[in-house]
Amino acid sequence: MFSKEEFQEKSDSEVVELAKENPEYFGIIIERYKDSLFFFVKRISYFGKEDIEDILQEVFVKVYKNLNDYEDSLKFSSWIYRITRNQTIDEIRKRGSRPQTTSLENNDLAKFIKSGSNVEKEFLQKEEMGSLKKAIDKLPQKYREVLVLRFLEEKNYEEIMDIIKRPKGTVASLIRRGRRILEEEMEGE
């Protein structure tokens, strides 16, 4: 076995290869991704802590079962985020309801604002985070998830393309439209 420091130096691809040979190494993948995936699910859904943990358990089971099918032509992080996104959407559909409010926190909102337009920056200066959160909650799921991936998860366009399985032009369009809807909603406030 490797030390914790040695694992931190290994790339995802190297850890995946080790996990394929020895299932004990799969724990490194879980440790590496559990927190970021937890917050991703929290940001794109309305689920509480226990529900998110259940979703992540399913995600990691799916990742483990399909680890041999993973091809490193795709970034591992994009692959695991796609599985997480799909599992979250499946859970939303299974429950038969559309998310009413997301679990964005003030530091998440600040990230949106820092990357945003003058309207969004004005809201930060006024400390009206509640208005921004309401505007984000009103966004249709397809716009909210690309904005979360781009500005909160800090994924580039190629990673978003891999996660949501859409071409680059569609990703750019979703981000642009989502931001426009968000700005219009905030101006209406």
Check residue 97 and give its pLDDT. Answer: 55
Total-model pTM: 0.77
Domain ranges across the chain: 4-95, 106-188
From residue 69, alpha-carbon distances to 17, 57, 63, 76 in Å are 12, 19, 9, 12
| pLDDT in single tens digits along all 189 residues of the chain | 556 566 678 889 899 999 999 988 999 999 999 999 999 999 888 899 999 999 999 999 999 999 999 987 889 999 999 999 999 999 988 887 554 555 555 555 555 545 555 444 554 554 456 677 777 778 888 998 999 898 888 899 999 999 999 999 999 999 999 989 888 887 776
Check residue 120 and give its pLDDT. Answer: 47
Task: Report the C-alpha gap between 141 and 149 in whole angstroms.
Answer: 12
What is the CATH number assigned to the segment(s) 106-188? 1.10.10.10
Check residue 41 and give its pLDDT. Answer: 94
Check residue 129 and give its pLDDT. Answer: 61
Q: Which CATH number fits domain 4-95: 1.10.1740.10, 2.30.40.10, 2.60.40.10, 1.25.40.10?
A: 1.10.1740.10
**Exposed/middle/buried for residue 11 (C-beta within 10 Å: 0-12, 13-18, 19+):** exposed
Check residue 83 and give its pLDDT. Answer: 97
CB 179 within 8 A of CB 133: no
Check residue 107 and give its pLDDT. Answer: 56
Which tokens in the block code for residue 188? 């209406």
CB 161 within 8 A of CB 167: yes
